Structure 1
Amino acid sequence: MILEISEHGSSLKRDHECFIVKSPLSEKTEIPAEKIDAIIVTANASITTQAVALCLEKNIQLVLANWAGKPFGRFWASTPGRATEYRRKQYLHQNTPIAFEISKDIVAYKLRTQRKFLVDLKGNRKTLNETINNSINSISKSMQTLDNLEFTPSFKQTLLGIEGFAAAEYFSAISSVLPKKYAFKERSRQPAQDKFNAVLNYIYGITYASVEKIVILSGLDPNAGIYHADSYGKPTLVFDLIELFRAKVDRIAVKLFTKKHVRDSWFISPDDAPLGVFLSKEGRSAVITAYRQEASAPIEKDSWLYCRKIMTTFAKADNC
C-alpha cells in the first residue's frame, strides 16, 4: 500500500516494526511496515528519525512532495537496496527486446482504449457519424499492424509512427462530436490554439504529476524511458506510462464540453501570447475537480501496478 500523509500537523513515528500515524483530524493509527510499499508526505508534518530509519531498513520509499503531489525530495539508504537493483535492470534493458515488448504493450493498450472510447461515442450518437466510423476502422488496422510487429533496433521510431497515425484519426473523431464552436483541426501544444486543447493540455499536465509521483515511489528512475528516448531533464518513463491513461483523461475533457459544463470564462488569451489559449483560474479549478473525481485514484493505482509489471518483466528476463 501507499501511505499518504496530507494533513498539516500530522506525525509519523516508529514503534518496533510498525509506523504510528497521527493527524489532528483522526485517531492514532498503527500500520505494520511490511504492509507499506511507499510513503509520501504532502503536508507540514513531523517525522521522527526512527521512522525514517524504519523506511530505510525495509526499503520503503519515503518521498516529500508539494501540495499538488509533485515530488521534490526522497530518502535513500546508504547501502544498495531494491531501488538500486530495479534501476540497474531498467538501464540495462532500455533498448533490448524486453524494452520492445513493454513498449509494444503500452502502445497496444493505448490504441485499445482509444478505440473503445470511440466505440462508446459512436453508440451514444443518435445519427451515424462517418468520421467516428472511419477512425475506428483506421485504429483497428493500426492495431493489426502493431500485433504483427517484430523487434528491430529501430522499434521506437516504428511504434511512434503507428501511434502518431492512430492519434490523427482519433482526434479527428473527437473533434466531430464536440459542439461546433469548440471543434478543432488538430492537436496543439505550448500553447493550445483552441479551447478544447487548452483543457486537454492542462489535464494532461495534472496526469503527468500523478504518474511521476508513483514512478518515483516505485523505485524506478523517472528519467530513464523504455519507449520514449531519453532527453536531458525530461521524465521519459513518465511519458511512457501516461500513454496508458490518455483515453481515460480524454473522456473527462470530452465530457466537460459535450455536457456543456465549459464556460467562456474558463479561458484567457494573455497579451504576451495572443495566439494561444489558456485556462483561467476558474477553468483550472473546474478541470482539477473533474480529474480528482473521475481519474486521480484509478490512475495512481494503475500506475503503481504497471511499475510493478515492468519490474517483474525485468526480473523474469534476467532469470531466463
Structure 2
Amino acid sequence: MIIEILTHGSTLKRNHDSFVIQNKEEKSEIPAEKVDAIIISSNSLISTQAVRLCIEKQIQLVISTWSGKPIARMWSSSPGKSTELRRNQYLNQDTVIGYEISMNILSKKLSGQKRLLLDLKNNRKLPPVKLEAAILTINNSLKNLDAIEYTNGYKATFLGLEGACAANYFQAIFSILPKKWSTAKRSQHPAHDAFNATLNYLYGMAYSDVEKIIILSGLDPNAGFYHSDSYGKPTLSFDIIEIIRPVVDRIIVTAFTKKMVNDNWFEKQDDVTNGIFLSKEGRKFLISSYVENGRKTIETTSWDFCKIIIEKLVTRI
C-alpha cells in the first residue's frame, strides 16, 4: 500500500507498530506491515517516531511537490537492503538480468500497443489498412523478440524492433483521427500539431508519476536497463515510461475520436519553431482526464514492474 498525504494540516504519528494519520475531517490508523511507502505533498506535521517506524520497517518516506514530483527521501544512515539493492541495480545494467528486464519492458510496451490497436479496430466497421498493418508488425516483432538471445548488442536489436513498430503504430493511430486533427508524424520539442501537443503534455505528467514510484520502491531512477546511462537523465524512468505509454495514448486517442477536443485548447508559438502548446483550458481538461482515467493504472503498473526488477536483483543479494 502507498499512503499519500494530500490534505494541508495533516499529522503523521506512530502508535506502536502503526501509523496514525489525522486531519480535520478524519483519523485513520494503518499497520506498518501493510505500508510499502508514504508520500507527503501537503503542509503536514511528521513525528520523529513516525520517521523511526519508517526506517525500522524499511518504508520509503518521500516529500514531494503538490504535483507529486519527489524532492526528498528519508533513508537509514546504516547500510541495509536498500544499499545492496541499488548496488546490484548498478552492477546488472548490462548483464543477463539487465537483458531480461529490457526484454520484459519491450514486450509489455508492444503488447500494450497491440491491445489499443485491436480495440480501435474492433470499434470500426471498416478499419483502416494501416491498423491491420501495424497489428501484424507488432505480432511479428513479439515473435522475433522471444528469439533474441543475450549478446553485447542486444539493446540495439531491441531498439530496432521498437522503432519499426513505433512507425507503424503511430501511422495507424493517425489514420483514425478526425480529419480536422490529422497529422503525418510524431513531433516532440516542440509539437507541430494539436495531437502531438496533447500527447507530449500527458507523457510529461506520466514521467513524474513513474519517477515517484521508482523512488518509493527504493530503486535509483537514474540507472536504467533498456536505456543506456546518460549524465543527468533518469534512465530507469525512461525504461518504465515505455510500458505505460499505451495507457496515455488511449486517453489522448479517446479525447480526439470522441470529439472532446476544442480549438481553444491550443496556442501557436510566435517564433521560428511554429510550436503548438496547450492553453489553460486544454491543460485543465487533460489533467482531469489523466487523473480519472490513467493515473491509478500508471502508478499500479509502475509499482508492479519495480517489484519485478527488485525480485530479479534480490536474487543477487
Residue 45 (structure 1) aligns with: 44
Indicate the residue corresponding to 1:202 in structure 2.
201
What is the 5 A alignment of 1:221-300? Answer: 221-272=220-271, 274-300=273-299
Tell me which amino acid in the other structure corresponds to 2:43. Answer: N
Task: Report Cα offsets for 1:171-217 as digits up to 9, x if no partner.
Answer: 00000000012111111101011110000000111111111100000
Q: Residue in 2 aligned with 1:64?
A: 63
Equivalent-residue separation in structure 2 for 1:111 and 1:96 (angstroms)? 23
Q: How does 1:1-320 map to 2 (within 5 A)?
A: 1-26=1-26, 28-272=27-271, 274-316=273-315, 318=316
Structure 2 unaligned runs (5+)? none
Any idea what the Cα deviations from partners look like across 1:201-243, whole Å, max 9, x if unmatched? 0011111111110000000000000110111111110110111
CA RMSD of aligned residues (A): 1.2
Q: Secondary structure at the match of 2:233?
A: coil
Q: Is the 8 A contact 2:105 2:239 kept in 1?
A: yes
3-state SS in 1 of match to 2:274:
coil
List per-residue Cα deviations over 1:5-63 (Å, max 9, x = no partner): 0000000011222211101221x211121221110001000001111111112211100
Q: In the TM superposition, what whole-angstrom CA distance separates every residue of 1:107-153 from its partner, at most 9, and x where no partner exists? A: 01111111121111111112241111111111212112111111111
Distance 2:24 2:81 in 1: 34
Q: Distance in 1 between matches of 2:177 and 2:190?
A: 20
CA distance in 2, matches of 1:58, 1:127: 56
Structure 2 length-normalised TM: 0.97
Q: Which moved more, 1:5-14 or 1:272-281?
A: 272-281
Secondary structure of residue in 2 paired with 1:113:
helix
In 2, Cα distance between the equivalents of 1:274 and 1:104?
37
User: SS at the partner of 1:233?
Assistant: coil
Letter in 1 for 2:107: A
- Provide the secondary structure at the position in 1 that maps to 2:7: coil
CA distance in 1, matches of 2:128, 2:162: 23
- Number of residues of Structure 1 aligned to a counterpart in Structure 2: 317
State the secondary structure of the residue aligned to 1:39.
Answer: strand
Report the CA distance between 1:272 and its aligned residue: 4.1
Deviation of the 1:81 alpha carbon: 2.1
Determine the C-alpha separation between the residues in 2 that align with 1:313 and 1:215.
Answer: 15
d(CA) in 2 for partners of 1:134, 1:227 = 26
Q: Is the 8 A contact 2:190 2:273 kept in 1?
A: no
Shift of 1:274: 4.7
Aligned equivalents of 1:17, 1:130: Cα separation in 2? 59
Following superposition, which runs of at least 4 residues in structure 1 exceed 2 angstroms of deviation? 270-274
CA contact (8 A) 2:202 2:248 kept: yes
The worse-fitting range, judged by mean Cα deviation, of 82-91 and 254-263 is: 82-91
Quote the Cα distance in structure 2 between the aligned partners of 1:232 and 1:116. 34
